[in-house]
Structure 1
Amino acid sequence: MNDAGANNKNGLLEKGRSGVLHVIFGRSAVVLVLILIQLILMFWVFDYFRKSVPYFFGGHLIIALALVFIVLNRPSNPAMQLSWVVIIMISPVVGGLFYFYVETHPGQRILEKRLETLYKQTAKYITQDEEIAQKLAKRDKGTARMADYIRKHGNFSVYQNTKVTYFPLGENKFEAMLQELEKAEKFIFLEYFIVEKGYMWAKVLEVLQRKVAEGVEVRLMYDGTCAFNYLPYRYPEEIRKMGIQCKMFSPILPILSTHYNNRDHRKILVIDGKVGFTGGVNIGDEYINRRAPFGHWKDTAIMLEGDGVEGLTQMFLQMWNVTEKCEDFGKYLQKENCGIQDDSGFILPFGDSPFDRELIGETVYMDIINRAEDYVHIMTPYLIIDHEMETALCYAAKRGVDVKLILPHIPDKKMPFALAKTHYPQLLKAGVRIFEYTPGFVHAKVFSSDGRKAVVGTINLDYRSLYLHFECGAFLFDLPVIEEIEKDFEHTLAECQEVTMADYRKGNIIQKICGKALKLLAPLM
């Protein structure tokens, strides 16, 4: 080996050692160790009382049975109830007290109360144009009723005069995103589940710094889990030195807490209230195929121009103000004249929260499935669904609707992939057609139906998205872009392999066993 090769090898070894040391001694490892210590201490206390206090176990078993009675009678998803019952009955001591801890944790209650207050304070800024609502009712009564439900229970309005551009890949969105950022004059709001250092973030940050120097207000919010894998814990301080307002949503601290389950999974970019982006694309190099850890990354996004951007601005400001004194939203929610006059169709940007007791994301999906006449075409990275969703998909197929699902062929996570396969037999027997994207991983979250309806957003078909995370999306009705979305589905379909019942039967037996074993706890994963 020549000197250059040796030096390169030594450099890689040194970099590897450095990476290992960073993991071992980094803040994320410390947080995990401290949380683990708390769990061990909790279990030790439980075990001590079980062994030392007479009748403790028997008494706690009675309490566990009482808890099972409470769990089964609380308004909750039946699958989640069953998972809790199993945990409590397997280990009455640990399971019962852990359930009590989850349901009564003060951090979650404080966040829930804060959001409830915030929604009430900001309701006055968003009003539905009744003329548009009446137009929608004349066009399609069922869709108008769904929009009315979302307005009453989520305070999201339906709009016209909005141009929607569809991006079939993350790199298409990235290119448009940079172009629109350059046009910013007043403010830029970014809210992303993942922000990862790399080419994509470097390019975006370069523009943001330039815009700050021009006097543009820039705010960045990303989810606290980024501190584990993608960014240093004190990265917001570094960003603030550049003149950019920055915060993590729900930073993970070295204390046990159940609100860590409720992540900000949204992807929103708003520029001057005139232009907005949402969809599946985070800020990271795999989303634009500059890295390929799981083959080709299929993702989608949309850009809104016009009145509908108001809905995305509203969502961003609500989440930003969770830890702030509620600011004056009015100056950001004034409709900007973008010169767009289009009353051909309708757009309804909407958000979903784990604390509003309304499953808005799942309700929108179910409404599309249940009222489909010709077809429902879906792209989703995960398929971990409850009985109601599975029944709706099966019934749609049985009544003659063309139901097709596109899922990844190369998974990014093995457990969710194994869980997804457990739904294949029932769906296939009912006539649902399942396709796997052979070039790699599908991260898109897209519904398309009957040439009239579509949803593009952040909501996966899994329990975390439907029940536990903060999510967002845009419901599109009778807009020209819906044809492009359906064409992209058909184009993607051509790169997939169909999964038949014979294929499923020949599948990996270990994967099947693991998937069935995990299914009981799927709602809590």
Structure 2
Amino acid sequence: MKRILSRILTILPAVLLQIIWYLLLLNWLNNIFPFINEVLSICAFIFVLHIASNYTESNYKLMWILLIVLFPILGAWLYILCGETRSTNRLNKNIEKAKMNLDVHDKTSEELNENIKQKDEHLFQTLNTISKNNEMPVHYIKDCKYYSLGDSMFPDMLKALKGAKKFIYMEYFIIEEGIFLNSMVDIFKEKVKEGVDVRVLYDDIGSISTYSLHNIKELNKYGIKCIPFNPAIFVKFQLNNRDHRKMLVIDNEIAFSGGVNIADEYINVKEKYGHWKDIGFSITGDGVNNYTFMFAQIWNSISNDKIQMTTNFENRNEHNGYILSYYDSPSNKVHTSRQFLLETFYRATKRIWIYTPYLILDDSVVECLCALARRNVDVRIMIPGIPDKKIVYRLTMSFARQLLKEGIQIYQYTPGFLHAKAWLIDEDLCSIGTVNLDYRSLFLHYECNSIFYQSSIFHSLKKDMEQTMEMSKQMKEEDCKQSIIKNLWDDFLRLFAPLL
């Protein structure tokens, strides 16, 4: 709480000065130009035209248009703060520049492409499109391990860190001092002494209450490099376009990812909202290169201390299936995770099982899930039983009730908070990463995700989901009943769903 107050007190004077300046300016203009209201109306109309012409989701545009029409000045100011993507585009240019300067020649082998094409041509087309658009190749999997809880992932991460010889790259949305982080930092200090390059990247808004400049200075004292992503400095920041990615990469030999952040509740040594259900995975082999590349791109785009990455990779024919790891950017015209979701969900014939902590959907995804249920595909969605954000949970339950009426099975994880993010598709395809089923993940944040095809991790995820459903409460039709007032309140909240 002290860190949040400190950051707010730093930013608040600049925000207040800007608001006062706007009010004084408007008052002055109104005295000199009596037609100022007409001018503001024209400006609001131009803003609306700009938003309407943007290539983005229709509900997102509708929310901003409505807000600006009703409150021209406030709406425009909020749009610049929360909705405009110019700062994202600038950052994306830096990322593209960093990508070009990384001398990496890694692409999907013709043999691998042909193998997938023979097994499933439609999936081949989807993966090939994602691979080309993101410049992230598909690889054979050497080895992978699934973690049904952060509790079991934690010791393996520490073991892998102790074996580091060249570098340790860590990138997380939330990092917080405690048993989890401090255990890692203790190893970092020893590894720096051994000459290992240790770099930590975290999101400044995600960790606004848990990490600060003081913590960075402490790490720097020991030779550990640490920088925040898109820092909240005065008013030059955006509430969206955050780095929601989570990855730990060691020596380009092993990578860890999933929904687990570096804080003690994720390993259940601290209780916040009951039992914390989260998942993750580790991979070895050529597929790790995608995560090393992802980290290097972001780091080199915001740091002068560049990572040099010049390794060429062979597409070794391992035998634990295929993996495509990629990242999503809010500046992409086609949002990769949403594209993958719609294309693979629509072609499903047996099942779609979903882990998500938040269920705030756009119309296309709602229609997709309902269409699957109408043709008797087994659609199941697992959500938290105990919320971490009450307003967001209310929206989640609003969408859950809507889907339940269409025949989709909804399970509430009654032991606590479910933070896992995964999609299980038919009998051989799954996706695990940082992507929630909400607007922020699908449209507004930087994310990372891995698609697994014909891998043992599919069966581990399926078994875990079955066990989770046994511990959860399945929602019934009677759970959908509520008063007209509550329904109206839910409808009102849906107008602002893209911001929540």
Alignment TM class, shorter chain as reference: over 0.9
Paired AA for residue 365 in structure 2: M
Cα gap change, 1:319/1:45 in structure 2, threshold over 3 Å: closer, same or farther? same
The answer on 1:357 being equivalent to 2:333 is yes
Q: 1:116 aligns to what?
A: 96
Distance 2:79 2:100 in 1: 30
**Alignment partner, residue 490 of structure 2:** 515
CA 1:291 to 1:43, structure 2 compared with 1: closer, same or farther past 3 Å? farther
Match of 2:146 in 1: 166
Q: What code does the residue aligned with 1:435 have?
A: Y
SS at match of 2:284: strand
Among 61, 83, 86, which residue is 2:66 paired with? Answer: 86
The CA distance in 1 between the partners of 2:331 and 2:460, in whole Å, is 35
Equivalent residue of 1:261, what SS? coil
The C-alpha deviation readout for 1:116-170, integer Å capped at 9, x for no partner, is: 3233444853322221111111111111111111122111110004211000000
Distance 1:227 1:288, change over 3 A: closer
Query: 1: distance between equivalents of 2:183 and 2:236?
Result: 37
Match of 2:277 in 1: 298
CA drift of 1:481 comes to 1.7
Q: Give the one of 43, 49, 63 matched to 1:69.
A: 49
**Per-residue Cα deviation, 1:76-119 (whole angstroms, up to 9, x for no partner):** 21011101111111012332465467777764442132123233
Match for residue 269 of structure 1?
A: 248
The question of whether the paired residues in 2 share the 8 Å contact of 1:125 and 1:329 is answered with no
Alignment of 1:227-266 (within 5 A): 228-258=208-238, 260-266=239-245
Of 80, 103, 128, 2:108 maps to 128
- Quote how far apart the aligned CAs of 1:444 are: 0.2
What is residue 432 of structure 2 aligned with on the other side? 456
Is 2:292 the counterpart of 1:313? yes
State the alpha-carbon separation in 2 of the partners of residues 148 and 175 from structure 1: 35
Q: How far does residue 368 in structure 1 lie from its aligned partner after superposition? A: 2.5
| Pair 1:405–1:50, CA change in 2 (3 A) | farther
CA contact (8 A) 1:38 1:256 kept: no
CA 1:329–1:149: 2 relative to 1, 3 Å: farther
Q: Which one of the candidate residues 299, 304, 318 is aligned to 1:342?
A: 318
Equivalent residue number for residue 49 of structure 1: 29
Q: Distance in 2 between matches of 1:446 and 1:348?
A: 14
Give 2:364's match in structure 1, choosing from 388, 407, 410.
388
Change (3 A) 1:510 1:322: farther
Aligned residue for 1:443? 419
* Residue 157 (structure 1) aligns with: 137
Q: Quick one: which amino acid aligns to residue 129 of structure 1?
A: S
Gaps of 5+ in 2: none
Per-residue CA deviations over 1:450-482 (Å, capped at 9, x if unaligned) read 120111100001111111111001100011221
Aligned match of 2:462:
486
User: 1:105 & 1:51 partners in 2: Cα distance?
Assistant: 34
Per mean C-alpha deviation after superposition, the further-off stretch among 238-247 and 98-107 is 98-107
Task: Tell me the TM-score normalised to structure 1 length.
Answer: 0.89
* Structure 1 stretch displaced more, 364-373 or 145-154: 364-373
The answer to whether the 8 A contact 2:123-2:344 is kept is no
Provide closer, same or farther for how the CA distance between residues 512 and 438 of structure 1 changes in structure 2, counting only shifts above 3 A.
Answer: farther
Paired amino acid for 1:242: Y
CA RMSD of aligned residues (A): 2.4
CA contact (8 A) 1:162 1:347 kept: no
Q: Deviations over 1:316-368 (max 9, x none)?
A: 1111111245956434x44499xx86335211111111123220011122223
Give the Cα–Cα distance (whole angstroms) in 2 for the partners of residues 521 and 40 of structure 1.
26
Q: Distance in 1 between matches of 2:60 and 2:86?
A: 21
How big is the shift at 1:228?
2.3
Partners of 1:516 and 1:65 in 2: how far apart?
A: 26
Distance 1:197 1:252, change over 3 A: same
CA distance in 1, matches of 2:442, 2:358: 12
Superposition TM-score, scaled by structure 2 size:
0.93
Secondary structure at the aligned position of 2:405 is classed as: helix
Gaps of 5+ in 1: 1-18
How many percent identity over aligned positions? 33
Match of 1:432 in 2: 408
